[in-house]
A = this chain, B = another copy of it.
Amino acid sequence: MAERADITAAILVIGDEILSGRTKDKNIGYIAEYLTNIGIDLREVRVVPDDEAEIVAAVNALRARYTYLFTTGGIGPTHDDITADCIAKAFGVSIDHDPRALAMLRERYQPEDLNESRLRMARIPAGADLIENPISKAPGFRVGNVIVMAGVPSIMQAMLDNIAPTLATGTRMLAETVDAGGLPEGVYAAGLAEVAKAHPGVSIGSYPSFREGRFQNQIVLRGKDAVLIDAAKTAVSCFLGGLKSDKAPI
């Protein structure tokens, strides 16, 4: 199999309402899982307020570092929707009403309803490709490697479905999980570190969760080579099979 280059990504969540805790973000986890499934490695996430300087700085930092940057939020018709202008500023391009975006809005709005605020949703940075929005028509867009999507989860998800087939993808990150069967991390940590050292092509993590007064741990093996993961999984399972729990909590 030919090696394919890693394709990387970051997410930038734009919105005071996430930082205030009023709205609980539902987009990060969804996009993370989606990108992993199509062979794009999510490497960083940031959440910033509705503030031009903060948005522009984050867009420029992240688009320079990763293959793609996905943004969510701030593309509606109200005065606090400033994402499109910030993207234009970050790229140093102009922004104006886009005829293609206007045509999309006209599918949904009667001429008398298409007021100046709604026309704001047709303001698109020069050189952008549009991303269709089957739910409420106002499009997302892509400029260079930056993909600009709505914050409302159902609309963001539809936009992601529309843009995904156009993206470069790499070898998919594979993951296998081994349940630690009630063993505390402290019992298997040293041996697991040895297994990890012996399987350099595989990233091995131990993830505790705490339910009903006790830890339930899972060991996750991740990598891009199924044969290497399989070998590591066998090693982890054999190693765990030889252990006995003690009474300690972790």
Contact = CB atoms under 8 A, between A and B. Distances in A.
B18 A192 contact: no
A24 B29 contact: yes
A17 B207 contact: yes
Contacts of A249: 108, 136-137
Given A21-B29, A21-B34, A79-B192, A118 B250 contact: yes
A209 interface: yes
Size class of the A contact interface (CB-based, 8 Å): 35 or more
A110 interface: yes
B152 A248 contact: no
The A contact surface, by secondary structure, is mixed
A208 interface: yes
Nearest to A61: B61
A231 interface: no
A36 interface: yes
A45 B42 contact: no
A154 B80 contact: no
Contacts of A49: 43-44
| Copies of this chain assembled into the complex | 2
A173 interface: yes
B175 A250 contact: no
Interface stretch (A91-99, A124-132, A198-206, A233-241): A198-206
Contact of A33 (B21, B117, B153, B222): B21
Given A16-B222, A21-B32, A120-B189, A76 B250 contact: yes
Given A16-B222, A118-B250, A175 B35 contact: no
A220 interface: yes
A237 to B, nearest CB: 17
5 contacts: A22-B220, A43-B49, A45-B45, A76-B250, A112-B246
Interface of A: 13, 16-25, 28-36, 42-50, 54, 76-80, 108-110, 112-113, 115-118, 120-121, 135-138, 152-155, 173, 175, 185-186, 189-190, 192-193, 196, 203-210, 215, 220, 222, 246-250
